[in-house]
Amino acid sequence: MPYTVDNRPANFREQMYFPEILQGLKIAARHFFKNLFFSRDANPDFLERDRSLNWVATLQYPEERVTYPPGYRGLHRLVPREDGKPRCVACYMCATACPAQCIYIEAGEYADDPVEKYPVKFVIDEMRCIVCGFCVEACPKDAIRMDSGEHAPPSYDRAAQIWDEQRLLRGPPISYQNDPWLRRGSPSISPEKLEEMRARARPFPTVATDEASQTPGFSVRALAQEAKERGEGR
């Protein structure tokens, strides 16, 4: 909404600067002595803390750690198939949708299957990633998820924040009944393993646009409904 900008010239008191400097020192001193003589409220919910007693919010990390909220999904992982290979078909959808341009993919073909592709190289620069989740939404094969619940680990080396396909490929395997390598077969998968994968495959979720179908314990729709019930979605 539009607002009025106060473009009046500074008065004599503001031109002196000293009163404002003293005001800033007063605020800094108040917080300093509160952190020095009072302890932090242990209530993890900041909005539920007793503000009349204490405003100290300093966290003594790593002895004290904040519990991640239910909506936190964490860093990426490549979802494996039942045979251990990545579900990724190197379609470049995630790299195209990424606003930070932090995903790099090189596609290759299986030697015995010229139809199916796989990522020869799949790299994510976690330092550039803004954790928006667009790559998860753009993937048509549920091959990349952000349900690890982990934050970016600290490192002294810039190269340690560049994760390749070997580091990203982890977690429980997933198979869907409409996977092309299950419907038409694949020479790269043995018949016994193929039948096992087909038996364990499940239908693709009908609410695939909802993160609840991909990330356990997290749902945009559920959170929106809770906010609506609290009167925040008006």
| pTM of the model as a whole | 0.65
* Domains identified in the chain and CATH numbers: 77-175 (3.30.70.3270)
Going from the C-alpha of 116 to that of each of 10, 168, 195, the distances in angstroms are: 69, 21, 18
Give the pLDDT of the chain (234 residues) as one tens digit per residue.
456 777 888 888 778 888 888 989 998 998 788 777 776 666 656 556 666 655 566 667 777 777 777 677 788 899 998 888 899 999 999 999 999 999 999 999 887 776 778 999 999 999 999 888 889 888 888 899 888 888 888 889 989 999 999 999 998 888 888 888 888 877 778 888 888 888 888 887 666 554 444 554 455 566 667 777 877 545
Tell me the pLDDT tens digit for each residue of 153-187: 888 998 999 999 999 999 888 888 888 888 887 77
Tell me the pLDDT tens digit for each residue of 111-141: 777 677 899 999 999 999 988 888 988 888 8
